[in-house]
Structure 1
Amino acid sequence: MNDGDLAGAVDANYWQSFKLLARACGGEVLEREGMLAVSTGLPVAMLNIAFVKRPLADPQASLNEVMSFYDEKRLPFVLRLREGVDPESERAAPALGMPYSDTVPGMALHPVPPPPEPVRGLDIEQLSDSKRLGAYQRVAAEGFGMPVEFVERLMGPAFLKVAGFGSYLGTVDDEPVAVSSVFVDGGVAGVYNVATLESHRRRGIGEAMTWRSVLRGREAGCSVAVLEASELGKPVYERMGFRVVAPYKTFRRRNQE
């Protein structure tokens, strides 16, 4: 696969996983030609994302419709599009009050190698029912710096039933310390929700949780693993062999978090 193919794989997995996650937590989805707007219903801009998927015939009209979609719900949101996909939309967004904010690295690993040796003392279990869901939610909330009630709504019992998703809880001495998830779709494994408690960072645990999600994809026959990296995670993923193939430009209204 060339970089264009890999970028397309990042796109497709990102869009589909976010749509399914939103619907599982009672959110809403707006789809138009070249446009996808996803609302989780939570008052956090990064949990309400509008994607420009390809060049828009009328960027100003499409973006105005997106803004109305979120304004009707009184929700903050961000606009995200892969660099170079639609320069006209990149120019239209600031003119409509959504200046450029930052670029999120969309990364891909191809081919998917065997995982390294496990981290000593770390046990990783797959969530098969809601018995350990509370621990997953608490670790995710603390790891991402979010209110636990937001995570409980976003990743409730319905989250465990979404087709293609798998989630993992990492423990050290029976203490939950890390989480990760994976979405397998179309031969691509998307890695999501990788978080480690601050008390257990810099021990290779986050990397091990990422590898567990990647392994799920490998077991399912996936030849590609993809993810969107945080500033903290990007060096770790690069060490694992991931490369940036889909830089996502982010635009947002001022004073929206």
Structure 2
Amino acid sequence: MGRDQRADLDTNWAAWLSFMAHHVAAGDTQTFGAIRCCSVGVPIPLFNQAFVFEEPAVDDLISAVGWLSQRDVPFWVTTPESVASAVGEMTEAAGLVFSGGTLPGMTLAPLGDLPVGATGAADTQLVADPTLLSDVAIVTAEAFGAPLEAAQMLVPASMLDDERSSWFITHVDGEPAACGQLLLTDDVAGVYSIAVRE
């Protein structure tokens, strides 16, 4: 039987948001039974989620929703298809509206060595200098339509000292143009916060 790449993706995604909540000043995490809640504290639901990867007790879902609501940020309850119908039946009791929407998730088997080609005017580098985080925030704010202040909160310098994560920034003709974040969990590498300015 093959590896469950969807489960790997879910685990890495929840770990990414927990990582973000750990490093961002307004961040916090809580667990309610099988529900892992992570909130970075910015007004973007992607950064405030309750992860429900197995069928929860309704009281745990109510507690998780209550905790996220008290943080006064928009949030999502994220669940795989395998338990979506069970969670959907609990939404009214938890004060939620079930959207049934899906988010894209991509997984790849290990690629091995990839050839590196010429990049032209684009210069991509690992962010090791904290001053480059302001460029990451500029790209993030513009690409996601977020306030610059919120984007700045998402890139504290403490992340640069955490070996689980790396930020990358691309400059085109000297201007910040794209960014991305890598997060490692066990042998899974998740790529997040991919943003490109127009």
TM-score by length of 2: 0.90
Secondary structure at 1:114 match in 2: coil
CA distance in 2, matches of 1:71, 1:32: 14
CA distance in 1, matches of 2:148, 2:106: 28
* Conserved 8 A contact 1:24-1:162: no
Corresponding residue for residue 163 of structure 2: 163
Q: Which structure is higher in strand share?
A: 1
CA distance in 1, matches of 2:136, 2:84: 38
* Conserved 8 A contact 2:122-2:170: yes
Residues 224-253 of structure 1 deviation map (CA, whole Å, 9 limit, x = unaligned): xxxxxxxxxxxxxxxxxxxxxxxxxxxxxx
Alpha-carbon distance, 1:165 to partner: 0.4
CA distance in 1, matches of 2:127, 2:28: 26
Secondary structure at 2:104 match in 1: strand
Amino acid at match of 1:175: E
Q: Where does 1:197-208 land on structure 2 (aligned, <5 Å)?
A: 197-198=197-198
Alpha-carbon distance, 1:137 to partner: 1.0
Corresponding residue for residue 21 of structure 2: 22
* Conserved 8 A contact 1:94-1:100: no
Alpha-carbon distance, 1:101 to partner: 5.2
Corresponding residue for residue 114 of structure 1: 113
Amino acid at match of 1:19: S
Higher RCO (CA-CA < 8 Å; seq separation 6+): 1
Alpha-carbon distance, 1:76 to partner: 2.0
Q: Where does 1:202-221 land on structure 2 (aligned, <5 Å)?
A: none
Is 1:196 aligned with 2:193? no
User: Structure 1 residue runs of 4+, over 4 Å off?
Assistant: none
* Conserved 8 A contact 1:37-1:49: yes
Residues 21-69 of structure 1 deviation map (CA, whole Å, 9 limit, x = unaligned): 111002110113211111112222222111102122x2x2122101210
Corresponding residue for residue 154 of structure 1: 154
* Conserved 8 A contact 1:178-1:197: yes
CA distance in 1, matches of 2:164, 2:96: 37
* Conserved 8 A contact 2:122-2:172: yes
Query: How large is the RMSD of aligned CA atoms in angstroms?
Result: 1.8
Corresponding residue for residue 211 of structure 1: none
CA distance in 2, matches of 1:53, 1:29: 16
Corresponding residue for residue 174 of structure 2: 174
Alpha-carbon distance, 1:158 to partner: 1.9
Is 1:35 aligned with 2:25? no
Q: Provide structure 2 residue ranges, at least 5 long, that are not aligned to the other structure.
A: none
Amino acid at match of 1:63: L
Q: Provide structure 1 residue ranges, at least 5 long, that are not aligned to the other structure.
A: 199-257
Amino acid at match of 2:8: A
* Conserved 8 A contact 2:39-2:68: yes
The percentage of counterpart residues that share the same residue type is: 26
Corresponding residue for residue 8 of structure 2: 9
TM-score by length of 1: 0.70
Corresponding residue for residue 55 of structure 1: 55
* Conserved 8 A contact 1:141-1:148: yes
Is 1:87 aligned with 2:110? no
